[in-house]
Amino acid sequence: MDVLGVLNLGDVAQTFSKIGTFPVFDLAYYIVSILYLKYEPGSVEVARKSPVASWLCAMLYCFASYILADVLLGGCPLDYFQYNSHILLASTIWYLIFFCPLNLFYKCVAFLPVKLVLVALKEVVRARKIAAGVHHAHHAYHNGFLIMVIIGYVKGSGVALISNFEQLLRGVWSPDTNEILNMSFPTKASLYGAILFTLQEAHLLPVSKSTLICLFTLFMATTKVILTARHSHGSPFILIESWVCHLLFGSPLGGGEEEHHASPAPAPVAPVSPVKTKEELGEGTRKRKSKKAE
């Protein structure tokens, strides 16, 4: 019975891995990516004032992983833009989300049940991209395990890693959103997934690639749907990470992240006396006059 279950899982994984991502899964990936762009502060105003800048930001949200991976592997960052069908599809989604009359398209895709389906489909593309990135790096650097992890990580979370550059295109600069310093769940999961796929590519993980893709996709889709439904930005890895960091690096157990991000209470400001203010103003005026005289 166990053998039959393993065979059935292997068959399902093989069939699942052969399913192409275009256009259904890629469509969901573009919709969710550009939907997150619209959530960014100032993105709607930028779309009205400078549609070209908004379109470039949308293309980065959709294709940043390919651009970064090509740059790191010595390729041309514009290579992926030769696929006209993908560019046309992403551009159409961008236009509908930002400029559809009465905001109808945005309201439809932002409706929670629809959004949950789209989020799950997007994670299918993420898992495939991580696996493809590791496989591509393995062909270029057979024993470069670190390079495989980096390329797989970039393929899975490219938009997060390039977010600061994308902010410059929108005229916004938020260095506290650096994804390396404050990793979100998709970024962490992409890193862990890249490590798993690297181990599998090096034949150190006793599982087939199709099975690993299927299991990782199932985990990512389920977790992301639950987090989206609960409007949560947490991570299921936080407990394990807390213990590992405590053992290896001496980090405090629990609450460290919350205390780190908590802003201290503002100190009470003493009222300024009007008389004192006038005296300070008078003193400043006398100093300016003395400087002019000198």
Looking at the domain assignment, is residue 58 inside a domain? yes
Q: Are 216 and 156 in contact, with CB atoms under 8 Å apart?
A: no
CB crowding 160-197: b at 16 or more within 10 Å, else e: bbbbbebbebbeeeeeeeebeeebbbbbbbbbbbbbbb
Query: What local confidence, expressed as pLDDT, does residue 7 receive?
Result: 52
pLDDT at position 161 over 50: yes
Q: How far apart, in whole angstroms, are the C-alpha atoms of residue 81 and residue 150?
A: 22
Looking at the domain assignment, is residue 4 inside a domain? no
In sequence order, which residues have a C-beta less than 8 Å from that of residue 121 and are 6 or more positions away? 24, 25, 28, 29, 221
Provide the residue range defining the domain that includes 192: 14-249
Looking at the domain assignment, is residue 243 inside a domain? yes
Looking at the domain assignment, is residue 164 inside a domain? yes
Q: How far apart, in whole angstroms, are the C-alpha atoms of residue 212 and residue 210?
A: 5
Looking at the domain assignment, is residue 259 inside a domain? no
Q: What is the number of domains present in the chain? A: 1
Query: What local confidence, expressed as pLDDT, does residue 48 receive?
Result: 94
In sequence order, which residues have a C-beta less than 8 Å from that of residue 61 and are 6 or more positions away? 33, 34, 36, 37, 159, 166
Q: Are 64 and 162 in contact, with CB atoms under 8 Å apart?
A: yes
Looking at the domain assignment, is residue 272 inside a domain? no
In sequence order, which residues have a C-beta less than 8 Å from that of residue 197 and are 6 or more positions away? 130, 131, 134, 135, 148, 152, 209, 212, 216
Looking at the domain assignment, is residue 148 inside a domain? yes
Query: Count H helices, E strands: the chain?
Result: 14, 0
Query: What local confidence, expressed as pLDDT, does residue 173 receive?
Result: 79
Percent of the chain with pLDDT over 70: 84
Determine the average pLDDT of the residues in 165-184: 84
Query: What local confidence, expressed as pLDDT, does residue 278 receive?
Result: 42
Looking at the domain assignment, is residue 179 inside a domain? yes
Single pTM value for the model: 0.82
